[in-house]
Amino acid sequence: MYSEQYLQQHKLIVGYTTSQHLCIDLDDTSLYKVTKLIQILQQSYPELGNALIMHSSTRNVEHTVRINRHGIPRHILKRESFHVIFNNKIGSIRCWEIIGTLIDLDIEPPQVRQIRARRRDMTLRVSPMVLSNGIKPEPKPYRTVPSCYYGKQDGMIKQYLAFLYATNNLFKG
């Protein structure tokens, strides 16, 4: 697959960066919620076009309970993580509007606002990543969600996939 020794030695992480088409990182989210979110976004923002769901990490569903400082239990359910890449260029201002809405709806964490404001881009990991307990593999294409609201397609999914495959060829040993 890729040279584990090379990854351990260099600890490289490669990301796909854009400011022109919407890319979302959805951690600890069920596939059902990801798909529904895409459908809502496609209906609310038809100019987004088709979407590609990438499976960014796999984990067994973990359920834990934490007690907050007031003694109230909080259920934490850790699920899989997904990346979503939309096919059309909509410009950075429209991307920031949509990301701001996702933050306000508590779909994206609030710290994303500061990160995006500072960097002015969206970046998704496309390479394997070294963790303390092993290597997290590169994201894998899972499913496309076609848009029935907008006909024109700019081909940004194809550009993302080309970058993903070219990057992963660098790590094969």
- Tell me the two tokens of residue 127: 């390479």
What does the pLDDT profile of the chain (173 residues) look like in tens digits?
Answer: 455 566 556 667 888 999 899 999 998 888 899 999 999 999 999 999 999 999 987 665 566 777 877 888 876 666 688 999 999 999 989 998 999 899 888 888 888 777 767 777 888 989 888 776 677 788 999 999 999 887 789 999 999 999 999 888 776 65
Contacts of 97 by beta carbon, 8 Å cutoff, 6+ apart: none
Which residues constitute the domain of residue 31?
A: 4-171
Q: How far is residue 28's CA from residue 54's CA, in Å, rounded to a whole number?
A: 13
Nearest by Cα to 88 from 31, 140, 23: 23
Nearest by Cα to 54 from 136, 114, 121, 144: 144
Domain count of the fold of the chain? 1
